[in-house]
Chains A and B, each alone.
Chain A
Amino acid sequence: MLLAIGLSLMLGSHAPAIGSSTAERVRMYEASYGLTLHELTPSFARQTGLACSVCHTHYPELTATGRAFKLNGYVYRRADSLQGRSPEGQQNMLLNLVTPLSFMVQTSFTATKKAQPGTQNGVVFFPDQLSLFTGGEVTPHVGGFLQVTFDPQSGSLGLDNADFRYANHTTAFGKHAVYGVSLNNNPTVQDVWNSTPAWGFPYGSSAAAPAPTAATQIDGTLGQQVAGLTAYTLWNDHIYLEAGAYRSAPIGTTRPLDSTAAGVLSGVAPYWRIAFPNTFGKHYLSVGTYGMSLKTFPAGVSGPENRFTDIAFDLSYLLPLGPNSFTTDATWIHETQRWDAGGTANPKNTLNTVRFDAMYHIGHQYAFTIAPFVTTGTTDTLLYAPAQLTGSRLGSPNFSGVIGEVDVMPWQNLRMQFQYTYYGKFNGSRSNYDGSGRNASDNNTVYVLFWLLF
C-alpha cells in the first residue's frame, strides 16, 4: 500500500517538465519503438528502458552502448527502484522495482546430410534450450548476469554462464578510465567483444549434430567448470587490460574435490586480456590478445599434470551503413599442450583454431552471416583415436568448413535462425574420417532454431 501510494505520487509529481505528460511520453516512446523493450536478457531492457537494438546489433553481438553497459557492471538504469537508507541518510539498499528475471525458449530442428549410425535423422528439440536469466544492478556499482539452463538431453537444470562484477570509473593520466573486477565461470564470458569464444559466433548451434573432437581449453572447454576473478580497466576508451586467475569449480561434483574428480586444475590458471579498440571515421576496430595457462590433473587431485598454454589474437570490426551495418569478428587461438601425465602418443602437441565471421545486418530484422572455420594440430593416434562417428582414422584433430546463416527477427525478441554447416574436413580427412566409412560431408548440418525471449 505504501509503495502504491508512493508510486502514484511519484508518477504524478514527476511528469516531464517540458512538452508532454509522462503518459504521453511513454506512448510516444512506445510508438517510436514499437513493443520492443526486450533484450538478449529482457531484464536488462526493463532496467535500462532501452530496446535490444541499443545494446546489440544482433544479440549477443554488442554495440558501443552494450559494451559500456557491461563494462560498467550492468548497473545503468532508467527504471524505478526501491532505495533503503540508514537513519544517517546513507543509501544501503537498491532494488529494481521490475523483477530482474527473463526467459529464453529455443526450439530447433537438426538434420545432417547422412543420419548418424543407428539414429533417426531430423532431430527436434522442444525445447532446444530453456534458460532463465537474472541480472542487472544490485548496488550502484555492482551488477551481474546469471543464466540457468535446462538441458533436454540430460533432463537437468544447470548453471550456465555467470558474470558478476564491481565497476567504477576514475581519471588516470588525465583520461577517463573504467575499472572493475569480474567474478565469472567461463573464461572470456566477461569479455565485451564477440571475437572471443564465450560470446562468439555461432550464437546458436545444434547439440544433436556431430561436432569435431578437438578444442582448445579456452574455447569453451572450461565453461562452467571453473570460477575466476579478474580485474580490468578500459583507459581512455582505447586500451583495455584485464588479468586474473581461474580455479576449478565444477558443477555437480563432490566437494572438496577428491580422487573421483576429473580434469581438475592444479592451483590456479592465470588469464589475460589486452585489447585496443579504436574508431576511424565510421569504422570501429578492436584488435587484441587473450589467453591463459593451466595445469590439470587428468584424474583426481594429485599426481602428474598436463599443461596447456593458450595464446590467442582477435579482431572485432563494425561499419554502420545507415540503418544497416556490417560486422566482422575473428580469432586465432594457438594452444601448446604438454602431456606429462601420459595417455597420448606424443608428449607435446599443438592445436590451432581460426574462426571468422562476416555479418551483414539489414536493419534489425535480418542478418546474413558467412563464417569459415579451421582447426589444425599435431597428429596423435591416442588422443584422437579412431571411433565410429566421433573418432579420427588418422589420429588427426584437423577440421575445416564454413557456416552460412540467415536470421530473421520480425520482433527484436523473436528470432528465426536458419543455419547450414559445411565440413570440408572432419577429424582429419574428407572421406572415411572415422575409419568406419563416414565422410566429412555426411556431417553437413541444417539447423533451424527459433528463439523467444521475454
Chain B
Amino acid sequence: MKRLLALIVLAAGPLLSQSPPKIDPTWLKVDSATTKVEFNLIAGLTPTNGGMNFNGAGAGALTLTVPVKWTVVLHFRNSDQVLPHSAMVIAATTPVPVSGAKPAFEHAVTHQSEQGLGSDHHEDVQFVADRPGSYLLYCAVPGHGVAGMWIHFNVSATAHQPELVVTRKTQ
C-alpha cells in the first residue's frame, strides 16, 4: 500500500505549473539600419497554461519593447497541437477582452483572428509601431486572451533598440 501511494503523485495542471519562460535569442532579429525588428511569435510553444501561451509565456510573462516608428514583423506560428490560436496587438487594458478586440495598429493581426490558425499553421504580420504606449500581444480567439494568452508589447519613445525580456514580477 505504501508503495502504491508513493507512485501516485499530484500533477499540477498546466494552469498552475508555469515556470519563468526561457528566452531564445533567435526569436528576435534586429536590423537597426532599416529600423526593423522581426519576432518569432510562437503560440503554444510549451504546455504552460494549457498551451495558451506565446513563446512559453502566459499572462504577460514576457515583454517585447520596440522603439517607436520601427517596423515590426511577427513570424507567427501555432505550435499548439490541440487549439487554434491567433495574434493581435491591442491596447493594454484590464481586464483583457474576451473577444471582439480591435488591432491597435493597422495590419497588426493575423487573419481569421477569431477562428485562429490551426496547429502548425503560420503567418507573417508586418506593421509600423507608430504610436508609443503600452500594448498587449494577444490571442484573439474568444476566451484565449482572458485565459492568459498574452504578453506585453511596449512601443517606446526612448528606447533605441528592441528588447525581449522576462517581465519583472513587480509589473
Q: Digitize B17-31: 1 where CB-to-A-CB distance is under 8 Å, 0 elsewhere.
A: 111110000000000
Binary CB contact string for chain B from 70 to 82 against chain A (1 if under 8 A, 0 otherwise): 0000000000011
A-side contacts of B59, CB under 8 Å:
16, 18-20, 25
Q: Which of A16, A68, A87, A318 has the most CB of B within 10 A?
A: A16
Residues in B lying within 8 Å of A, measured CB to CB: 5, 7-21, 49-50, 52, 57, 59-61, 81-84, 95-96, 98-100, 111-112, 114-116, 118-121, 141-144, 146-148, 166-169, 171
In the assembled complex, the Cα of A22 lies from the Cα of B16 at a distance in Å of 8
- Which residues of A are at the interface with B, using a C-beta cutoff of 8 A? 2-3, 6-7, 10-11, 14, 16-20, 22, 25, 28-29, 31-33, 48-51, 53-55, 63-65, 68-69, 72, 76-87, 93-94, 97, 169, 171, 175-176, 178, 236-237, 279, 281-282, 284, 318, 320, 322-324
Closest chain-A Cβ to B144's Cβ sits at a distance in Å of 7
Closest 3 pairs between A and B when the two form their complex, measured CB to CB: A54-B143, A32-B95, A237-B118
- Partner among A63, A79, A320 whose Cβ is within 8 Å of the Cβ of B100: A320
Are A16 and B11 CB-contacts (below 8 A) given A32-B95, A51-B143, A53-B142?
Answer: no
Q: A82-B9, A82-B11, A93-B8 are in contact. Are A76 and B83 (CB under 8 A)?
A: yes
Alpha-carbon distance A323/B118, docked complex (angstroms): 22
Determine the chain B residues whose CB is within 8 A of the CB of A51 once the complex forms.
Answer: 98, 143
Residue of B nearest to A81 (CB): B11
Q: Which of B12, B111, B144, B169 contacts A10 (CB 8 A)?
A: B12
Q: Is the CB of A18 within 8 A of B61?
A: yes
- Pick the contact of B49 from A78, A93, A97, A281 — CB < 8 Å? A78
- Tell whether, in the assembled complex, residue A76 and residue B147 are in contact, meaning their CB atoms are under 8 Å apart: no
Cα of A368 to Cα of B119 in the assembled complex, Å:
33
**For the complex, would chain B's binding face be called helix, strand, loop or mixed by DSSP majority?**
loop
Q: Which label, helix, strand, loop or mixed, suits the secondary structure of the A interface?
A: mixed
Are A48 and B12 within 8 A (Cβ)? no
Assuming A18-B167, A19-B167, A171-B120, what are 17 further A-B pairs, CB within 8 angstroms? A14-B17, A16-B61, A17-B18, A19-B59, A29-B146, A49-B15, A51-B98, A54-B143, A80-B11, A80-B12, A84-B8, A169-B82, A237-B119, A282-B112, A320-B99, A320-B100, A323-B100
**How far apart are A2's CB and chain B's nearest CB, in angstroms?**
6
Q: 18 A-B residue contacts at CB 8 Å? A: A3-B10, A10-B12, A16-B61, A19-B60, A19-B61, A50-B143, A53-B98, A53-B99, A79-B13, A80-B15, A81-B13, A85-B7, A176-B121, A178-B119, A279-B112, A284-B115, A322-B100, A323-B99
Contact B169 A80 (CB under 8 A): no
The answer for the CA separation of A393 and B167 in the assembled complex, in Å, is 75
A54-B144, A93-B8 as given contacts; A65 in contact with B169, CB under 8 Å: no
Question: Is A17 a contact partner of B115 (Cβ separation < 8 A)?
Answer: no
Query: Which chain B residues lie closer than 8 Å to A18 at the CB level?
Result: 18, 20-21, 57, 59-61, 166-169, 171
| A281 cross-chain contacts in B, Cβ below 8 A | 111-112
> Are A78 and B14 closer than 8 Å at their CB atoms?
yes
Q: Which residue of A lies closest to B16 (CB)?
A: A14
Establish whether residues B169 and A19, one from each chain, have CB atoms under 8 Å apart when the complex forms: yes
Beyond A63-B142, A79-B15, whether A176 also contacts B81 by CB under 8 A is yes
* Contact, CB under 8 Å: A77 / B14: yes
Contact across chains for B115 and A84 when beta carbons are under 8 A apart: no
Identify B19's interface contact among A17, A53, A81, CB under 8 A: A17
CB distance from A91 to the nearest CB of B (A): 9
- Complex formed: what's the CA distance from A252 to B13 in Å? 40
Tell me the smallest distance from the CB of B50 to a CB of chain A, in Å.
Answer: 4
A169 touches B119 (CB 8 A): yes
User: Is the Cβ of B8 less than 8 Å from the Cβ of A49?
Assistant: no
- A-side contacts of B19, CB under 8 Å: 17
Chain B residues near A323 (CB-CB < 8 A): 98-100
Q: How far is the CB of A225 from chain B (nearest CB, A)?
A: 33
